[in-house]
Amino acid sequence: MAFDPRDPYDAAALYDMWLNCQGCTATFDFEPERPLGLDYYHDIGQRAKAEGWVVHEQPEAEAGEDVSYLVCCPECAARFGLAAPQGGDRRAPAAIMDICAAVRAAESELAA
């Protein structure tokens, strides 16, 4: 499966470049030996999901506000009573789509 900008795990990994728990110092870190790109962020997001991290897209406080994500490691998610978001029909945030377009352009330029 490929990067999905509607998946909060993929989107948060792309937006933040790696996932940092907001309840403690845990980090779902990057893999420095791998080239950055949408496949990289998809893998990071999906590994975090499989390992029990919880990522929720936060609603905008005001129209036009940047997208943000609540990210918690498995221990903090359990401590705060958070569960992984359920599937559903999500819309990819505009900021994530803009970043995706820039990454795809850079990947195309490097491939040429």
Give the tens place of pLDDT for each residue, 74-105: 999 999 999 888 765 677 778 888 888 888 88
Output the CA torsion sign for 44, 45, 51, 52: positive
Least confident of 10-19, 61-70, 81-90, 103-112: 61-70
pTM over 0.75: yes
Instruction: Report the pLDDT averaged over residues 16-39.
Output: 82
Which pLDDT score, from 0 to 100, does residue 63 have?
65
Output the CA torsion sign for 84, 89, 92, 94: negative
